[in-house]
Amino acid sequence: MAFSYSGLIKQLEFEGYSTDEATYGVEQTGANWNEQAAKKAKDYLSLTAFSYSGLVNQLEFEGYTNEEAVYGADQTGADWNEQAAKKAQDYLDLSSFSRSELKAQLEFEGFTSQEAEFGVTAVGY
């Protein structure tokens, strides 16, 4: 399980450690937070599709710095066109969309116009 610096402190606090104890413990791990971000990014992509920017935002939400989040997303080796196609199919599995609505939704999720175009074409639009 991968954690950000702040995420691991929060987890330890949840488990009953004081903030000082949790912070001390986290500082003693010697963790490479970039590598933790890369692991977390790969974990996310194994569960669901993300755009590059959506994945960076999710990692930042988890407590990674922007630098760590960008590093993590960069290390996934993801094909962002493929991610757009998967996300498009996910949306169609839940609801009906016109081609333009689906493309707009993908762009809202952070896919580039070209990635969104690939995604809607891949699902038959």
pLDDT digits (tens, 9 = 90+) for 99-110: 999 999 999 999
Whether pTM exceeds 0.75: yes
Nearest Cα residue to 103 out of 45, 94, 92: 92
The DSSP secondary structure of 41-74, one letter per residue, reads HHHHHHHS---HHHHHHHHHHTT--HHHHHHHHH
In this structure, whether the domain defined by 80-122 belongs to CATH 3.40.50 is answered with no
In the chain, where are the structural domains located? 5-74, 80-122
In the Cβ-directed half-sphere of 108, how many Cα atoms lie within 13 Å?
A: 8
Residue 59 pLDDT: 99
Burial class (CB in 10 A: 0-12, 13-18, 19+), 47: exposed
Residue 120 pLDDT: 98
